[in-house]
Structure 1
Amino acid sequence: MVMMCKYRAVTVFRRPGRHRVAVLVRHGLLPMELGIAHRIMGRSKTAAGDLLYEVVTCTPVPGQVRTDADFTINVEHGPEALAEADTVIVPAAHETDETYTAGRLPAHLADALAHIRPGTRIASICTGAFVLAAAGLLDGRRATTHWAACDTFRALYPRVRLDPEILYTEDGGVLTSAGVASGIDLCLHMVRSDFGTAVANSVARRTVVPPHRDGGQAQFVERPVPAPRVHSTERARTFALAHLDRPLTLRELAAQQSMSVRTFTRRFREETCVSPQRWLIRQRVERARQLLEESDLPVDRIAREAGFGTAASLRQHLQAVLGVSPSAYRRTFRAAG
Structure 2
Amino acid sequence: MPPTRVAVLAFEGISLFHLSVPGLVLGGDRHACGLPPYTLRYCAAVPGRVRGEHGVEIEAAGLEAMAQAEVVIVPSWRDPEAAAPAALTDALRQAHERGAQVVGLCLGAFVLGDAGLLDGRRATTHWGWRALFGRRFPRADFRPDVLYVDDGGIVTSAGTVAAIDCCLNLVRGRHGAAVANRVARLLVTPPHRQGGQAQFIEQPVPALASENRLPGVLEWARERLAEPLSLDTLAEAAHMSRRTFTRRFKEATGTTVAKWLAAERLARAQQLLETTALPIERIATEVGFGTALSLRQHFTTQLGTAPSAYRRAFCAGQGRAPKESARA
Range into which the TM-score falls when normalised by the shorter chain: 0.7 to 0.9
Are 2:225 and 2:288, in contact at CA under 8 Å, matched by a contact in 1? Answer: yes
Query: Contact (CA 8 Å) 1:60, 1:112: kept in 2 or not?
Result: no
Residue identity matched to 1:294: T
Tell me what 1:87 maps to: 71
Equivalent residues in 2 for 1:228-267 (5 A)?
Answer: 228=207, 230-267=211-248
Match of 1:305 among 280, 283, 286: 286
Is this contact kept in 2: 1:44–1:203, CA < 8 A? no
Q: Match of 1:126?
A: 106
Superposed CA offset, 1:223-253 (max 9, x none): 7x57747344333312211111221122111
Equivalent of 2:46, from 43, 52, 61? Answer: 61
Equivalent position amino acid for 1:98 in 2: P
The match for 2:130 is 150
In 2, distance between residues paired with 1:295 and 1:244? 17
How do 1:188-267 residues align onto structure 2 when only pairs under 5 Å count? 188-222=168-202, 225=204, 228=207, 230-267=211-248
Structure 1 unaligned segments of length 5 or more: list them.
1-14
2:263 is paired with a residue of what secondary structure? helix
Supply the RMSD in Å over aligned alpha carbons: 2.6
Equivalent residues in 2 for 1:278-317 (5 A)? 278-317=259-298
Query: Are 1:42 and 1:51, in contact at CA under 8 Å, matched by a contact in 2?
Result: no
Q: Which residue type is aligned with residue 92 of structure 2?
A: L
Q: In structure 2, give the amino acid aligned to 1:334.
A: C
Structure 2: distance between partners of 1:237 and 1:201: 18
Bigger Cα displacement from structure 2, 259-268 vs 209-218: 259-268
Under a length normalisation based on structure 1, what TM-score does the superposition of the two structures give?
A: 0.83
Could you say which residue in structure 2 is the equivalent of 1:328?
309
In the alignment, structure 1 residue 277 sits paired with structure 2 residue 255: no
Partner deviation per Cα, 1:108-147 (whole Å, 9 max, x = no partner): 4234335424133211111111211222222333322222
Q: Which runs of 5+ in 2 are unaligned?
A: 319-328
User: 1-side partners of 2:185 and 2:33: how far apart?
Assistant: 17
Give 1:201 deviation, angstroms.
0.5
Distance 1:254 1:48, change over 3 A: closer
Q: Is the 8 A contact 1:284 1:306 kept in 2?
A: yes
Please list, as runs of the form range in 1=range in 2, the aligned pairs for 1:99-178 lying within 5 A after superposition. 99-100=81-82, 104-118=83-97, 119-178=99-158
Q: Is the 8 A contact 1:28 1:93 kept in 2?
A: no
Between the two proteins, the alignment pairs up a number of residues equal to 315
Spell out the pairing of 1:6-17 with structure 2 (5 A cutoff). Answer: 16=2
The alpha-carbon deviation at position 148 of structure 1 amounts to 2.4
- Of the two, which has the highest radius of gyration? 1
Partners of 2:106 and 2:126 within 8 A in 1? yes
Which whole-Å deviations, capped at 9, do the CAs of 1:157-196 have from their partners, x for residues lacking one? Answer: 3333433332212233222111111110111111111111
Q: Which residue of 1 aligns with 2:17?
A: 32
Identity of aligned residues (%): 47
**1:305 maps to amino acid:** E
Deviation at 1:292, TM superposition (A): 2.1
**TM-score calculated relative to the size of structure 2:** 0.85
Match of 2:162 in 1: 182
Q: Is the 8 A contact 2:72 2:102 kept in 1?
A: yes
| Cα distance, 1:49 vs structure 2 | 4.3
* Equivalent-residue separation in structure 1 for 2:202 and 2:287 (angstroms): 37
How far, CA to CA, are the matches of 2:36 and 2:206 in structure 1? 47
Deviates more, 1:179-188 or 1:235-244: 235-244
Shift of 1:294: 2.1
- Partner amino acid, structure 2, of 1:293: E
CA shift, 1:309, in A, is 2.1
Comparing 151-160 with 116-125, which one deviates more in the overlay?
Answer: 151-160
Q: Find out whether 1:98 has 2:80 as its counterpart.
A: yes
Maintained 8 Å contact 2:250/2:256: yes
